[in-house]
Amino acid sequence: MPRPQQTPLRPLTPHERTTLEQVARSGAERADRVSRAKALLTVADGATFVAAARAAGRRSGDGVAKLVARFNATGLGALTSRPGGRPPVQYGPEQAARILREVQRPPEREADGTATWSLSTVQRALRRAPDGLPTISTSTIRRVLHAAGFTWQRDRTWCETGVVLRRRKSGVVTVVDPAAAAKRG
């Protein structure tokens, strides 16, 4: 004997029924939307969740029960897939603004250990800063920069050609390429 339906389907409006019937008959719609529409229409016609699951090509009535509960809450929005499989966003607008402030500041060679920003040097600076983000990843930095309209080619900082600061055991050393002028043309 099947379990009683804990969340029955609310009555459909004429617009919802028409839309569900169109989606269920459509050959151009996504298969998951068609399956959900068929299951909802079958439940609306009085079938059990298990029968609706079989009519829609699903295996379990529990999935139809969750679909019905979602339809009762959101309406036709229940037909579309929800995003899943990725962790929730940890950083909000305040953290994105902090990342952008860090990138827009010119790097200090001594403190930051670089003359130009890269994703890893921005990450290192943000992790070390007292008001920084200790667990930030380079992919998060890249996502924030792209969302803000930055591109690597346009917004990178430039340093003097042929002059480089290198770290040695004895400290930071300035290395000059004697052929830099010839290489520049």
- Rounded to two decimals, the pTM is 0.49
Token pair of 1 as six digits: 């004997």
Report the pLDDT value the prediction gives residue 165, as an integer from 0 to 100: 82
Report the pLDDT value the prediction gives residue 158, as an integer from 0 to 100: 46
User: Are 137 and 123 spatial neighbours (Cβ–Cβ below 8 Å)?
Assistant: yes
Query: Residue 161's closest CA among 145, 178, 144?
Result: 178
Task: Give, rounded to a whole angstrom, the gap between the first and last alpha carbons of the chain.
Answer: 87
Q: Give the residue carrying structure tokens 């890893």.
A: 120
Report the pLDDT value the prediction gives residue 112, as an integer from 0 to 100: 87
pLDDT in tens, 88-126: 667 889 999 999 999 888 888 888 888 888 888 999 999
User: Are 21 and 38 spatial neighbours (Cβ–Cβ below 8 Å)?
Assistant: no
